[in-house]
Amino acid sequence: MGYKNAMFLLSILISFVLYGQKKIIFKDNFVNNKNRWKLEKADDEFSVRIKDKALYFKKNHRNAVNNGCLWFEKNIRKFKAEKNFIITFYAKILSSDDVSNGFDFQWGKIEEDTNTSSSISTSLYQLDFGLTDMRLSKFDNINGWTYYDWSDSYTETLNYTLQYGILYKYEIIQRNDTLTVLINDKIVYALPIKPQDGKSIGVQQCLKSHWLLSRLSIKQ
């Protein structure tokens, strides 16, 4: 059995073990803005809003037309990104039209520079969720971006396909040196990872898309 396939089998066992051991340290159903998410009023490019029990993200133009990114982060007081965790959320891609289609999700140390409205991200991981595959990347101020293999390079049998307008369940599980990702309770990605410290989650909205996030929880 190859190493990558062995990693997937190991991840399956890890996933079952974790569910009975962790406590919910953060939860939001987005009925209102009780957790004080930083909402962005709609302008010519970006908007972040809470509506219909969901957090909506939108970029209006392709990056080739309007080159820019919205760095969005939320500090979770009890969250420790260097420890084992399970992040669960539901997401729906409403539309996308750029060099790639989908959305991303980040965790780690994400520090926002309010003076320049940009983000100084000292140490974070990011998962790029595409319509048929995903990729892990890592960013820090010293090395910049490091990109890992796309999920479809691991095994064809665990590929997935997302459709516009459909709500899917996502789970990001970090257990020691293994990262496992599930969509609708099916493992679609697993690889070794070196946990990074931090207390934040977030997204980086760079490509033209409109999507929503709902029913977010973190277990640790």
Would you say the pTM of this structure is higher than 0.85?
Answer: yes
Q: For 26, what's the count of Cα atoms within 13 Å in the CB-facing half-sphere?
A: 22
Q: Provide the 10 A C-beta neighbour count for residue 194.
A: 9
42-75 residue pLDDT tens = 678 999 999 999 999 999 988 888 888 888 999 9
> In the chain, which residue ranges form alpha helices assigned H by DSSP?
3-19
Residues, the chain: 220
Q: Which pLDDT score, from 0 to 100, does residue 41 have?
A: 75
> Is the pLDDT reported for residue 6 higher than 70?
no
Question: Binning pLDDT at 50, 70 and 90, where does residue 114 land?
Answer: very low
